[in-house]
């Protein structure tokens, strides 16, 4: 038997790419590949790219350039580009960087085994189609390997919202939901392999409307189906759009014990003028009212957000409206970005904000968000929370896990195993994590 071929995957960007990279590794596992952590050892290198912000394509080209020496030493080395830059750039990648053997868009990963065979035979292969079939269904021939206690599960892909700054509707395509039975089978399989917590993924996850036995299911209905799986202890989902936050989902946050009290609900900006130009179809006020309804259903829920500062034509007054909204909502965690132009999106054509002003706003926003994050984390001290242990800590006898609210929690003198869920009393709050003790 020949030695296994080695696969090196470098993943950029969002959790969906992390999930996709796992599926690609499994698909190529069927072709005799094992994963390696070093590009130098690899027989195949895949860059799973992200196109959401900054000079994504340029970064990919410079990363690819670094493999020149490796390819010269190892002519059989195959190099592939996957993900959203692959989708956006297509053939251009092979034109600009002849080292590349394979370009595969996010909707075509199930075709990787055939593509790999063609690349091995010396062909240049490109697939950036949006095929009809469910790529994950076709990617199923995975080994029944044991898994860690947490996993991602993609339930929905693509987006029809067309926010004026965003490439996702172009790179991931139109919104498509996977049928519920496939998701439930995959969840059951994950639980049999040791998973205790599943995070449902989608670019617009709360727009989920996958086929069920009696018509389409909402995300809340899917969560209630998952709730029935014995051994599955925790359910999360990300990322949601305010306009798709339906009543049954809000209600589930109050009534479904397995659904964790954490919600990532990006608002992007606090000025109605900017929100309109962003094509967000919600206002600051409607977002705040929505948060109030969610908190009425689940008072302790931790709210997380995304923000863009320096969107075209944003004035200091508009920015202040974002700061006011943040003050009002009080975020437990947040991601904030300086607007960056994505060619082909409507906002790219609008008058841009002075970069120095945008930098300054970003700093002020991040200072406020960091303070809030710390306050929310500190407010956990003295409380009892659930913790799912994920790994051993740095000190003997110490275990580390995540609380219901997704804070990292360290527990000393801990006799629990990875994958155990325990009640923990939080005793102190550090720079980036909490410390707690087991409650017997
Ligand atoms: N510039 C800056 N941030 C962006 N995001 C998406 N597109 C852009 C862009 N062009 C941010 C949004 C989104 C998150 C995933 O990335 O805040 O919610
Ligand atoms: Fe992009 Fe999210 Fe807007 Fe869709 S809803 S266009 S993914 S920012």
Residue ranges of the chain that CATH labels 3.40.50.12160:
5-127
Cα–Cα separations (whole angstroms), residue 242 to 176, 274, 377: 18, 16, 24
Which CATH code fits 135-379? Answer: 3.80.30.20
Q: What is the pLDDT of residues 58-99, one digit of tens each?
A: 889 999 999 999 999 998 999 999 999 998 888 899 999 999
Q: What is the pLDDT of residues 14-68, one digit of tens each?
A: 888 988 998 899 889 888 999 999 999 999 999 999 888 767 788 899 999 999 9
Q: How does DSSP assign 12-46, residue by residue?
A: -SSHHHHHHHHHHHHHHHTTTEEE-S-GGG-SEEE
- Mean of per-residue pLDDT scores for the chain: 93
Work out the pLDDT band at 291, boundaries 50, 70, 90.
Answer: very high
User: Is 306 close to ligand 1, i.e. is its CB under 6 Å away?
Assistant: yes
| 268 CA: nearest ligand 2 atom | 8
User: Is 54 close to ligand 1, i.e. is its CB under 6 Å away?
Assistant: no
How do beta strands 384-392 and 399-403 pair?
antiparallel
Whole-angstrom distance, CA of residue 383 vs CA of residue 393: 22
User: Is 67 close to ligand 1, i.e. is its CB under 6 Å away?
Assistant: no
Predicted TM-score (pTM) of the model is: 0.89
Work out the pLDDT band at 138, boundaries 50, 70, 90.
Answer: low
Fold of the domain built from segment(s) 384-438: OB fold (Dihydrolipoamide Acetyltransferase, E2P) (2.40.50)
| 338 CA: nearest ligand 1 atom | 2
HSE-up (13 A, CA, CB side) for residue 294: 24
Fold of the domain built from segment(s) 5-127: Rossmann fold (3.40.50)
Q: What is the pLDDT of residues 306-345, one digit of tens each?
A: 999 999 999 999 999 999 999 999 999 999 999 999 888 9
Are 32 and 6 contacting, i.e. CB atoms less than 8 angstroms apart? no
Token pair recorded at residue 312: 């075209």
In this predicted structure, the answer to whether residue 271 has a pLDDT above a threshold of 70 is yes
Average pLDDT over residues 374-392: 98
Question: How far is the centre of ligand 2, averaged over its atoms, from the C-alpha of 161 (Å)?
Answer: 6
Token pair recorded at residue 166: 């965003």
Residue ranges of the chain that CATH labels 2.40.50.140:
384-438
Q: What is the pLDDT of residues 211-252, one digit of tens each?
A: 999 999 999 999 999 999 999 999 999 999 999 999 999 999
Residue ranges of the chain that CATH labels 3.80.30.20:
135-379
In this predicted structure, the answer to whether residue 143 has a pLDDT above a threshold of 80 is no
- What integer pLDDT is reported at residue 144 of this predicted model? 67
User: Is 342 close to ligand 1, i.e. is its CB under 6 Å away?
Assistant: yes
Average pLDDT over residues 195-207: 96
């Amino acid at each position: 038997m020949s030695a296994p071929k080695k696969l090196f995957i470098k993943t950029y960007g969002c959790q969906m790419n992390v999930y996709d990279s796992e599926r690609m590794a499994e698909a190529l596992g069927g072709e005799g590949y094992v994963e390696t952590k070093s590009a130098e050892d690899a027989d195949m290198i895949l860059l799973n790219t992200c196109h959401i912000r900054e000079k994504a394509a340029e970064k990919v080209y410079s990363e690819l350039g670094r493999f020149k020496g490796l390819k010269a030493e190892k002519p059989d080395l195959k190099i592939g580009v996957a993900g959203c830059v692959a989708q956006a750039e297509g053939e251009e990648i092979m034109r600009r960087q002849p080292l590349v053997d394979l370009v595969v868009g996010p909707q075509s990963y199930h075709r990787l085994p055939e593509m790999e065979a063609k690349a091995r035979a010396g062909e240049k292969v490109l697939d950036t189609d949006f095929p009809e079939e469910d790529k994950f269904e076709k990617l199923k021939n995975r080994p029944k390997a044991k898994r860690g206690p947490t996993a991602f599960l993609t339930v929905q892909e693509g987006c029809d919202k067309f926010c004026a700054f965003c490439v996702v509707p172009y790179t991931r395509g139109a919104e498509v939901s996977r049928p519920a039975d496939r998701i439930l089978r995959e969840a059951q399989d994950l639980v049999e392999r040791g998973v205790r917590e599943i995070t449902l993924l989608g670019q617009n996850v709360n727009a989920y409307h996958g086929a069920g036995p009696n018509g389409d299911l909402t995300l809340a209905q899917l969560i209630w189906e998952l709730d029935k799986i014995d051994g599955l202890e925790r359910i999360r989902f990300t990322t949601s759009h305010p306009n798709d936050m339906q009543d049954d989902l809000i209600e589930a946050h109050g009534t479904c014990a397995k659904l964790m009290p954490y919600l990532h609900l990006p608002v992007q900006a606090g000025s109605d003028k900017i929100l309109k130009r962003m094509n967000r179809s919600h206002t600051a006020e409607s977002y705040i009212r929505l948060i109030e309804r969610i908190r009425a259903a689940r008072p302790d829920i931790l709210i997380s957000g995304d923000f863009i500062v320096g969107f075209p034509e944003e004035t200091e007054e508009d920015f202040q409206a974002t700061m006011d909204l943040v003050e009002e909502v009080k975020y437990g965690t947040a991601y904030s970005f300086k607007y960056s132009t994505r060619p082909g999106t409507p906002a790219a054509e609008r008058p841009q904000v002075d970069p120095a002003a945008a930098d300054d706003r970003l700093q002020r926003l991040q200072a406020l968000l960091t303070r809030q994050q710390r306050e929310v984390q500190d407010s956990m001290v003295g409380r009892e929370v659930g913790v799912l242990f994920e790994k051993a800590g740095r000190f003997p006898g110490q275990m580390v896990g995540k609380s219901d609210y997704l804070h990292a929690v360290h527990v000393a003198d801990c006799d629990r195993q990875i994958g155990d869920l325990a009640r923990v009393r939080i005793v102190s709050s550090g720079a980036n994590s909490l410390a707690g003790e087991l409650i017997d």
